[in-house]
Amino acid sequence: MIALTIWLVFFCIVAMRILRPALVKNFSYGWFVVIAINLHLLYGIVATWGQYRAWATGGDITQALLVAPLSPEVPFPVYLEWARPFFEQQYGYFALYSFQNFFLSTIALFIVTGLFYFFLIARARYRALNFREGDIMLIVLAMLISGWPGVIVLLPIGLASAVLLSLGARIFYGIERIPLPPAFLFAAPFALIFAQQILTTLSLYNLLKL
């Protein structure tokens, strides 16, 4: 709940940068992306520290698990098989537990966001995109705010938001179209909050849960 509140506050600050740029002037979207990346990493660090404290003070069983190496009987992710010797040392079980619960989803988010970023850069190089300066960073920022698995549902929600906002702007204000990046950004909190429910309804949540 605390993490969700922090991301919603962060989103409001970014939205203010778009709607009232004079209040957050001289602060580029690139800096917001850097802050978002560090917030994700900071969450993993703080959560790992909290888990360490909980196990260290939780009694004999959790204290034993805290310092225990990873047992050969413990199931191990196939994609991490090359790293198994690292976890078969002291604190190995705790390291694997923390990695899977507090960092794996962040890594997946960074990979998906990075791939989409490079796709946009490559597409802009070979085919002109109707983007203004900072628009690609704004889409990246929206993906980081939506988190994992919110980034998976952001694309359809963002596209739908762009269509609806464009129709509303054309009907009520005579504006021809709404730029895609702001539509993505304003769809980000919905993806952040409702991704689990949407993916569960589509029976995809368990496949994407990290």
pLDDT of residue 78: 77
pLDDT digits (tens, 9 = 90+) for 9-47: 999 999 888 888 777 667 888 899 999 999 999 999 999
**Domain range for 10:** 2-208
- Residues 135-162, mean pLDDT to the nearest whole number: 90
Q: What is the pTM of this model?
A: 0.87
pLDDT digits (tens, 9 = 90+) for 181-209: 888 888 999 999 998 888 888 777 777 77
The number of domains in the chain is 1
pLDDT of residue 129: 60
For 96, counting Cβ atoms within 10 Å of its Cβ (0-12 exposed, 13-18 middle, 19+ buried), the class is buried
- Residues 146-170, mean pLDDT to the nearest whole number: 83
- Residues 50-57, mean pLDDT to the nearest whole number: 94
The more confident residue out of 70 and 49 is: 49
Q: What's 74's DSSP letter?
A: S
Name, in order, each residue with C-beta under 8 angstroms of 184's C-beta and a sequence gap of 6 or more: 138, 139, 142, 143, 154, 158, 161, 162
Say if residue 54's pLDDT is above 70: yes
The more confident residue out of 94 and 180 is: 94
Query: In whole numbers, what is the pLDDT of the chain averaged over residues?
Result: 85
179: left (phi over 0), alpha (psi -120 to 50) or beta: beta
Phi/psi for 197 (5° steps) reads -65, -40
pLDDT of residue 152: 92
pLDDT digits (tens, 9 = 90+) for 73-128: 777 777 777 888 888 889 999 999 999 999 999 999 999 999 989 988 887 777 65
Please state, for a pLDDT cut of 90, what percent of the chain lies above it. 41
For 203, counting Cβ atoms within 10 Å of its Cβ (0-12 exposed, 13-18 middle, 19+ buried), the class is exposed
The more confident residue out of 14 and 165 is: 14
